[in-house]
Amino acid sequence: MSSVQSDGTGNTGKRRSRLLAIIIAVVALAVAAAALFVALRPDGSAAGDAETTPSAAPAATETEATPEETVLASPEPEEPAAPEPASYTTADGMLKFDHPIGWTVQPLSSPSKDTYNQTGEALEVVNADGQTMAELITGVVTGFVAVQGVPYVEFDYEPIPGLEDKESGRGEAPAFVFHGLDHAAGFEADMAITGWGRQTDPESAVLPHGFEFIPGTSGAFFNRPMGPDTVLPVDPALTGAPRLEAYMQTEEYKEIKAMMMSLRFLQ
């Protein structure tokens, strides 16, 4: 067993004190180094930093979102204007009427032109298919014929304010009329202009039509005569009054009526 000898000067105590101080310093340095290792990561990041990694930026889509475009309401399409009708003026310059484009005014080819003693014109208005839509005969003395024992039926009646009957004694403006006589074999019907006033007696058995523009000497007929066999754009199974009532709903009927009601005097 060894022993530490004292040199008798007190140096032994001093050496011990310095040794203890060195040991304490070494321990302190070790503690400090350990604390520093804990505080700092090997990659230099601080221990207090968040453990999670920053979230990745959202992946770009193929097309960037664009603000919604304001869709302006398109204006309502305008309906095409109806074509202007054609017109015809009689050779004497007295009468004028309008008719649909595609219809033609030509000399009357039917026997009707020989029925009356007339000095004016005998014309017919035909459609694009060559079917007669109306007849106009001028230069005649107007009148009507009574047929005994045949009932009279009126389907349509409308005054024509723009057409003045020159025979003032009757006191009524000419009118458009669609009327017929109910024969046993079927209706004899007419779309016509009449200056004879409205017929109200169903047993009168007359088709009064025609109008005057030189009293007692000159008048005109503007009408479309129809018999039971006249081709009409309606159900062929219909007969009698239902057939004529159905015809009133057709475009052809409306065009003929408009044409007749457009008739006017030019002088």
Segments of 86-217 assigned E as strands: 86-89, 95-99, 104-107, 122-126, 132-140, 152-159, 175-183, 186-194, 211-214
Distances from the Cα of 240 to the Cαs of 53, 230, 248, in angstroms?
96, 12, 13
Distances from the Cα of 246 to the Cαs of 74, 239, 256, 263, in angstroms?
40, 10, 15, 25
Question: What tens digit of pLDDT does each residue of 136-173 get?
Answer: 998 887 666 566 778 999 999 999 977 876 655 555 67
For the chain, percent of residues with pLDDT exceeding 90: 37
Q: Is 212 helix (H, G, I), strand (E, B) or coil?
A: strand
Distances from the Cα of 175 to the Cαs of 65, 157, 160, 208, in angstroms?
71, 7, 5, 11
For the chain, percent of residues with pLDDT exceeding 70: 60
Higher pLDDT, 31 or 192: 192
Of 11-15, 117-121, 123-127, which range is least confident? 11-15
The secondary structure element, H or E, covering residue 221 is strand 218-226
Question: What tens digit of pLDDT does each residue of 62-118 get?
Answer: 555 555 555 566 667 677 776 678 999 999 888 999 999 999 999 987 666 566 667
Residue 30 pairs in a beta bridge with: none
* DSSP code for 146: B
**Do 222 and 190 contact (CB within 8 A), yes or no?**
no
**Do 109 and 195 contact (CB within 8 A), yes or no?**
no
User: Which pLDDT does position 6 carry in this prediction?
Assistant: 45
